[in-house]
């Protein structure tokens, strides 16, 4: 048994993948078996494995210095912030750097509480914001069940999940009960008690669905009327995953805060961030920002973020994801013929195949893995999320394997 403890699993029979290396959209194990990565590790390696620009940025920072505290400002801190600000929505140009996505969500909620003097948090029922205790409290996810009770003061609403609408409405007659429920929940709790609304712009492993086009615009209006801050979690969908730098761009909405992680360094170093709107950040000109951790804004992680943004820019990877995403969407329509598939949905290089209840998503994942394809699966969902550097030929080849794996399991 390994001396390391592995998360989300019992240890006795767990056999971790013996990762030995990787390049681009591929990785290989200690025995030399190569796998096409259709999960971007954990939806994080947007620029692929061991990207040379990111590695070069890390080497430069190793020479410049890697030991710094959160109250220190090495040059890399301002450089990384400036690079991020080139692409975050207008006004979201102040950054609190964190250890990862989960604590970015916790820090964002703390900022909302400090700025509003309120303590309530409104979230969605299918949300997942990370595995720290606070982030699990803001989530409503089976992974948090062993740790109940969670933090108090969390209000939940149902999801704008159009394929399995909680209100069982048809698209042609939908009057957005999902939006009305948010307004009703705020009124019931008392608007003066709610500090923020925290939502994944596009949910991750709890369904990979895409809210209606006007959902966030109407949500923005509700928040503005009640003095509630809107936080959009872009940990999974940021940095080109959906064919845009950030998924909220598709909805034409600028939140008060946006939380980042995963693709911020393409998995080359641990880092997260809260992008804070300038008008909100000004509150802390004269008020203490009462949050922080020892290793936030670590120079090596910031260097990885800078190299990552430069790689995405120089190689046009975000635009490329949008183009390849069109081909992915076409192929998904063909995969929908399988009896096991209930629905397919995608944006850019982020796709979800929702399988029928009787299908076995994990068995399909294993069948694909045996053919050299690494997929993410969380029953009843299979996800297709390759690195943005994937070639068109490898994308087609990987989708052929998904097709074969579904055939085996159908």
Report whether pLDDT(410) > 70.
no
For the record, the structure tokens of 30 come out as: 């200690």
Question: Are 128 and 192 in the same domain?
Answer: yes
Question: Are 303 and 335 in the same domain?
Answer: no
What pLDDT is recorded for position 237? 98
What pLDDT is recorded for position 264? 98
pLDDT > 90: percent of the chain: 92
CB atoms within 10 A of CB 170: 8
Task: Single out the residue in 314, 344, 375 at which a domain terminates.
Answer: 314
- What's the whole-number mean pLDDT along residues 3-13? 93
What pLDDT is recorded for position 135? 94
Question: Are 120 and 200 in the same domain?
Answer: yes
Question: Are 261 and 324 in the same domain?
Answer: no
Question: Are 199 and 289 in the same domain?
Answer: yes
Question: Are 280 and 327 in the same domain?
Answer: no
Question: What domain range includes position 101?
Answer: 52-314
Q: Do 318 and 388 form a contact (C-beta atoms < 8 A)?
A: yes
Residue 104: inside a domain, yes or no? yes
Residue 7: inside a domain, yes or no? no
CA distance 22 to 382: 23
Question: Are 271 and 392 in the same domain?
Answer: no
For the record, the structure tokens of 68 come out as: 């710094």
Please, what's the largest Cα pairwise distance for the chain? 63
CA distance 4 to 28: 21
Residue 30: inside a domain, yes or no? yes
Question: Are 334 and 267 in the same domain?
Answer: no
Question: Are 270 and 339 in the same domain?
Answer: no
CATH number at residue 369: 3.90.1150.10
Report whether pLDDT(253) > 90.
yes
Reported as a pLDDT band with limits 50, 70 and 90, residue 143 is confident
**CB under 8 Å to 240, separation ≥6 — which residues?**
46, 263, 312, 317, 318, 321, 348, 349, 388
Question: Are 92 and 39 in the same domain?
Answer: no
Reported as a pLDDT band with limits 50, 70 and 90, residue 409 is low
Residue 1: inside a domain, yes or no? no
Of 358, 362, 359, 271, the residue nearest 9 (C-alpha): 362
Report whether pLDDT(83) > 70.
yes
Strand partners, 33: none
Residue 11: inside a domain, yes or no? no
CATH number at residue 70: 3.40.640.10
Task: Single out the residue in 285, 314, 343 at which a domain terminates.
Answer: 314
Backbone angles phi, psi at 406, to 5 degrees: -65, -35
For the record, the structure tokens of 93 come out as: 């140009």
pLDDT > 70: percent of the chain: 100
What pLDDT is recorded for position 261? 98
**CB under 8 Å to 102, separation ≥6 — which residues?**
129, 130, 131, 132, 135, 261, 272
- Output b/e per residue, 305-340; b: 16+ Cβ within 10 A: bbbbbbbbeeeebbebbbebbeebeebbeebeebeb
Alpha helices in 215-283 (DSSP H): 215-226, 248-251, 278-281
Question: Are 213 and 225 in the same domain?
Answer: yes
Backbone angles phi, psi at 229, to 5 degrees: -85, 140
Contacts 24+ apart (CB under 8 A), 106-109: 106/130, 106/132, 106/134, 106/135, 107/274, 107/291, 108/196, 108/198, 108/231, 108/257, 108/259, 108/274, 109/134, 109/138, 109/195, 109/196, 109/198, 109/231
Of 55, 51, 132, 57, the residue nearest 299 (C-alpha): 57
Range with lowest mean pLDDT among 28-37, 90-99, 146-155, 340-349:
146-155
CB atoms within 10 A of CB 285: 6
CA distance 178 to 164: 12
Residue-wise pLDDT tens digits, 149-171: 889 999 999 999 999 999 888 77
250: left (phi over 0), alpha (psi -120 to 50) or beta: alpha
Backbone angles phi, psi at 261, to 5 degrees: -175, -155
Coil, strand or helix at 148: coil
Residue-wise pLDDT tens digits, 360-402: 999 999 999 999 999 999 999 999 999 999 999 999 999 999 9
Task: Single out the residue in 284, 314, 344 at which a domain terminates.
Answer: 314
Range with lowest mean pLDDT among 14-28, 170-184, 307-321:
170-184
Residue 76: inside a domain, yes or no? yes
CA distance 230 to 116: 12
Q: Do 68 and 76 form a contact (C-beta atoms < 8 A)?
A: no
Report whether pLDDT(63) > 80.
yes
How far from 308 is each of 48, 200, 239, 305, CA to CA, in Å? 10, 22, 9, 5
Counted domains in the chain: 2
CA distance 232 to 246: 10
Residue 14: inside a domain, yes or no? no
CB atoms within 10 A of CB 204: 27
- What's the whole-number mean pLDDT along residues 30-49? 98
Of 73, 56, 101, 54, the residue nearest 298 (C-alpha): 73
Residue 2: inside a domain, yes or no? no
* 3 state SS for 63-82: HHCCCCCCCCCCHHHHHHHH
Model pTM score: 0.96
Reported as a pLDDT band with limits 50, 70 and 90, residue 141 is confident
Coil, strand or helix at 176: coil
Question: Are 58 and 136 in the same domain?
Answer: yes
């Amino acid at each position: 048994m390994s001396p390391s403890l592995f998360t989300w699993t019992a240890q006795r029979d767990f056999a971790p993948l013996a990762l030995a290396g990787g390049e681009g959209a591929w990785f290989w194990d200690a025995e030399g078996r190569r796998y096409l990565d259709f999960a971007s590790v954990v939806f994080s390696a947007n620029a692929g494995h061991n990207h040379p620009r990111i590695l070069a940025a890390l080497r430069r920072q190793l020479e410049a210095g890697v030991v710094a505290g959160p109250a220190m400002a090495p040059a890399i801190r301002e450089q990384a912030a400036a690079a991020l600000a080139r692409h975050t929505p207008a006004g979201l140009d102040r950054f609190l750097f964190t250890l990862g996505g989960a604590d970015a969500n916790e820090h964002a909620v703390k900022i909302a509480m400090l700025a509003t003097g309120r303590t309530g948090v409104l979230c969605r029922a299918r949300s997942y914001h990370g595995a720290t205790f606070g982030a699990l409290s803001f989530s409503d996810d089976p992974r948090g069940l062993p740790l109940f009770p969670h933090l108090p003061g969390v209000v939940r609403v149902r999801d704008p999940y159009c394929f399995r609408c909680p209100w069982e409405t048809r698209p042609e007659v939908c009057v957005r009960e999902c939006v009305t429920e948010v307004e009703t929940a705020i009124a019931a709790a008392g608007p003066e008690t709610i500090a923020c609304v925290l939502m994944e712009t596009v949910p991750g492993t709890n369904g990979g669905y895409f809210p209606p086009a006007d959902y966030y615009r109407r949500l923005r209006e509700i928040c503005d009327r009640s003095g509630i801050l809107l936080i959009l979690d872009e940990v999974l969908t940021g940095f080109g995953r959906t064919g845009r730098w950030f998924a909220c761009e598709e909805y034409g909405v600028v939140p008060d805060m946006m939380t980042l992680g995963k693709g911020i360094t393409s998995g080359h170093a641990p880092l997260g961030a809260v992008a804070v709107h300038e008008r909100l950040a000004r509150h802390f000109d004269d008020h203490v920002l009462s949050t922080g951790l020892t290793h936030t804004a670590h120079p090596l992680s910031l260097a990885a973020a800078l190299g990552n943004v430069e790689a995405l820019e120089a190689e046009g990877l975000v635009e490329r994801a949008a183009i390849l995403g069109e081909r992915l969407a076409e192929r998904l329509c063909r995969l929908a013929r399988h009896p096991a598939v209930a629905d397919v949905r995608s944006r850019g290089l982020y796709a979800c195949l929702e399988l029928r209840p009787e299908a076995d998503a994990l068995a399909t994942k294993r069948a694909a893995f045996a053919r050299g394809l690494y997929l993410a699966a969380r029953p009843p969902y299979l996800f297709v999320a390759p690195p943005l550097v994937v070639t068109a030929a490898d994308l087609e080849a990987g989708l052929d394997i998904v097709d074969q794996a579904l055939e085996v399991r159908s």
